[in-house]
Amino acid sequence: MGIKIQIRQKSEFVDAEITAMHRDYIEVISDRNFIENFFYDIKIPEITGEEILKAEVKECVQIKLRTYQLKMYFLDLKPNVKKKIDAAVQMQIMKKFELAVARAVSRVLQSTLKAELTNINYEIHDIDKYHFYNSIVVSVIGEISGSAILSFDENLRKLVAAQMWSFAEIEVIDEESVVEALKEFANIVLGNTTTILSNNMGVKCDIKSPVVLHDKYIETNDKIKLHQVSIKFNFLEKDYTASLIFLHSV
């Protein structure tokens, strides 16, 4: 996770790093040994500023020379601090989901196109608005609950459909066949996403059936923000873009 934490040991604060954050506790890597079942003052500047919090060390395990893994449980968080912690936890969850979906889309694209994709480039940025046309919503529920809207450029939509339905000529594919192909593609992406979350991140989830957005315009407002992950690649000397749009609650 890479968030810095400061833990008071004796009279000074020492630096450590949060590797995972939960609503009730944090997992920390430190080069110092700490006493189990003991309360410490901590600061998490990136999330709660200079506010001093209390946390109890429930576990302190030496994993290698001068490296210790801690589990620290929060004590009596103020409502405003708890809100900040909860927001950070939710952001961590969404980052896991985003990473898993992006990996799954790349993996399924390579499988569908039956070739190694070259010059793959991931671009990540916030956007103000997006027009969805026959885009596919993919969702998971469980330990992580999240949705992403999968949108391909026009050439990629037809290319994927042609490969999935074994059409020799892309030009003869009708829009209904394209949408059905994208729904099937999304189902495979969902299967890969849950596998990645389970095997690589230790998160168990179930999938929901893909939903088609036929023609919808969404803008950032005071309740949601739009986050886009664009997967750009080259296939047979042509450039293509697959976009993933994530809606984040503010």
pLDDT digits 0-9 by tens, 45-86? 999 999 999 999 999 999 999 999 999 999 999 999 999 998
Across the chain, what does the average pLDDT equal?
89
Task: Quote the percentage of the chain above a pLDDT of 70.
Answer: 96
Asked if residue 124 lies in contact with residue 95, where contact means CB atoms within 8 angstroms, the answer is no
pLDDT of residue 187: 92
Q: Read off the pTM.
A: 0.78
The CA dihedral of 101, 107, 113, 117, to the nearest 10 degrees, is: 110
pLDDT of residue 1: 61
Contacts of 208 (CB under 8 A, 6+ apart): 139, 140, 141, 190
pLDDT of residue 229: 93
pLDDT of residue 96: 85
Top mean-pLDDT range of 53-67, 172-186, 221-235: 53-67
pLDDT of residue 236: 85
Q: Is the pLDDT of residue 168 over 60?
A: no
Asked if residue 231 lies in contact with residue 105, where contact means CB atoms within 8 angstroms, the answer is yes
Contacts of 78 (CB under 8 A, 6+ apart): 51
Strand ranges inside the chain, DSSP E:
3-9, 12-21, 25-30, 38-43, 53-64, 67-75, 118-127, 129-142, 146-152, 205-219, 224-235, 238-249
Q: How many CB atoms lie within 10 A of CB 79?
A: 6
Q: What amino acid occupies position 67?
A: T
Could you give all domains of the chain from N- to C-terminal order, each with its CATH number?
Answer: 3-77 (2.40.10.220), 90-249 (3.40.1550.10)
Q: Is the pLDDT of residue 33 over 90?
A: yes
In tens, the pLDDT along 104-146 reads: 999 999 999 888 777 889 998 899 999 888 899 998 888 888 8
Lowest-confidence region among 71-80, 194-203, 238-247: 194-203
Q: Is the pLDDT of residue 249 over 80?
A: no
Q: Closest by alpha carbon to 96, among 5, 188, 198?
A: 198
pLDDT of residue 151: 92
Cβ-based burial of 215 (10 A; exposed 0-12, middle 13-18, buried ≥19): exposed
Q: Closest by alpha carbon to 192, among 91, 99, 117?
A: 99
Q: Closest by alpha carbon to 82, among 23, 39, 28?
A: 23
Q: Closest by alpha carbon to 185, among 214, 167, 220, 210?
A: 210
pLDDT of residue 177: 86
Asked if residue 83 lies in contact with residue 111, where contact means CB atoms within 8 angstroms, the answer is no
pLDDT of residue 114: 85
Q: Closest by alpha carbon to 29, among 70, 89, 72, 88?
A: 70
Confidence label for 201 from pLDDT (cuts 50, 70 and 90)? confident
Angle at the Cα of 146 (from 154 to 2), degrees rounded to 5? 105
pLDDT of residue 189: 93
